[in-house]
Amino acid sequence: MKGIHHLNCVKIVSPLTDNVCGHCLLLSENDKLVLIDTGIGLLDIQNPKERIGQQLIDIVGYRFDEDQAAVRQIEKLGLDPGKVTDCVISHLDNDHTGGLADFPQATVHIGAEEFENFNAGNPRYLKTPLAHNPAIKTYQKSDSDWFGFEARKISAGISTGIFLIPLFGHTLGHCGVALKAGEKWIFYIADAYYMRVELNDSNHPVNDLARMRADDNDLRIATLDKIRNLVSSHPEIEVFSYHDAGEFKIA
């Protein structure tokens, strides 16, 4: 039995909108569970000042609710969180990785450039999400192609094809994730855009936030152009980001 569950694992209130989500995916196959990004974790929610810090909480606008933690949502689905064997991570910002500590036995899958960026001391990253020293598997540059994008096949022990798709700019190793659901492709683009409006409105205020948060804004813009072309050329592919609550409702 295979399944794909859409989970909202973050609540943020920002000056742009009071409904910013954290759109994670849970893949279930036979006796295995695989998470694609993990959101804010249970330990973060229970100890936010210690694990995140009051300054970042205030800057981002986090709102905390235990029911939103991926581990709690998995339990409510009637599934066993202990069967989460693998977590595929788009990038190592804490709102995508805080939940890793709730699945301490899971292998973390990450692009090699992103892990290098993390280890280079980039101040954007918190150390707490990886403080439990999980097994980490990194993925190097690949010659494989997915609709004009480089594709790095993930080895997570399930038959569903999962690919890291480099979408650099937001961070120096930021990736999206492509996966095949039956005959349909799903393309999760993480923070390559915060809101879908960025694809067609360069004057929307969210563009300023995206620019300020980018490690390399020129790369971010080039990535956006590639996503625009894909959306235009392949409307059959389901494309969505991490933070756009409208896309979460559609999914």
The CATH class for the domain spanning 2-250 reads: alpha beta
Closest of 69, 75, 125, 74 to residue 101, by C-alpha: 69
Closest of 101, 97, 40 to residue 68, by C-alpha: 40
122, 215 Cβ separation under 8 angstroms: yes
Sole residue written with tokens 């989500």: 21
pLDDT(30) > 80: yes
Q: Once rounded to an integer, what is the mean pLDDT over residues 164-173?
A: 98
Q: Strand pairing of 84-88 and 107-111?
A: parallel
DSSP string computed for 3-55? EEEEEEEEEE--SS-S-EEEEEEEEEETTEEEEE---S-HHHHHSHHHHT-HH
Of all residues in the chain, what percent carry a pLDDT higher than 70?
99
The domains of the chain are located at 2-250
Q: 183-206, pLDDT tens digit by residue?
A: 899 999 999 999 999 999 999 999
E strands, 69-130, are: 84-88, 107-111
Q: 62-93, pLDDT tens digit by residue?
A: 999 999 999 999 999 999 999 999 999 999 99
pLDDT(23) > 70: yes
145, 127 Cβ separation under 8 angstroms: no
State which amino acid sits at residue 157. G
- Sorting pLDDT into bands at 50, 70 and 90, what band is 159? confident
Q: Once rounded to an integer, what is the mean pLDDT over residues 41-62?
A: 96
Q: What is the pLDDT of residue 15?
A: 81
Q: What is the pLDDT of residue 208?
A: 94
Q: In whole angstroms, give the CA distance from residue 251 to residue 249.
A: 5
Q: 209-222, pLDDT tens digit by residue?
A: 999 999 999 999 99
Q: What is the pLDDT of residue 1?
A: 47
State which amino acid sits at residue 166. P
